[in-house]
Amino acid sequence: MGIKYVDKKLGRFVIVGIINTLVGMAIMFGLYNLAGCSYWLSSAANYFLVSILSFFMNKYFTFGYRGDMAGSALRFAINIAACYLLAYGIAKPLALAIIPGSLRFQENIAMLVGMCLFTGFNYLGQRLFTFRGNNNEGN
């Protein structure tokens, strides 16, 4: 019997994700467009800052994980870093290759694409790696 991926946990992940996305977009696009920070600094600051809230909300609310704090925090950090590098590493060259316009426009599009890719990678990483086992599977 396989793991169900479309269940209450996915719904909870979406709720947490909406909160994180709104806060993260304000950070990322504000730093990039208003403060003049680079693509990488703006997107990294977003994920670093929002990930702290995300860890606790997903640990307890989304996945009901009751395992050790240190191990899950380390797996969470590894997952976030891997998902970030993968998503934004794909998004920027893809946007530069297929989106016409200025570099600023292309990088704004790349950040949007990166957010979408990150969300999918992150859900699977948290469910299958970060908060695996020792949780309330019935929730």
CA distances from 8 to 3, 5, 63, 136 (A): 13, 9, 9, 11
Cβ pair 125, 82 in contact under 8 A: yes
| pLDDT tens, per residue, the chain with 139 residues | 456 778 899 999 999 999 998 999 999 999 999 999 999 999 899 988 999 989 999 999 999 999 999 999 999 999 999 999 999 999 999 999 999 999 999 999 999 999 999 999 999 999 999 998 765 554 4
Cβ pair 27, 52 in contact under 8 A: no
If DSSP codes are grouped into helix, strand and coil, which group holds residue 65? strand
Cβ pair 37, 31 in contact under 8 A: yes
CA 135, CA 11: separation in Å to the nearest integer? 17
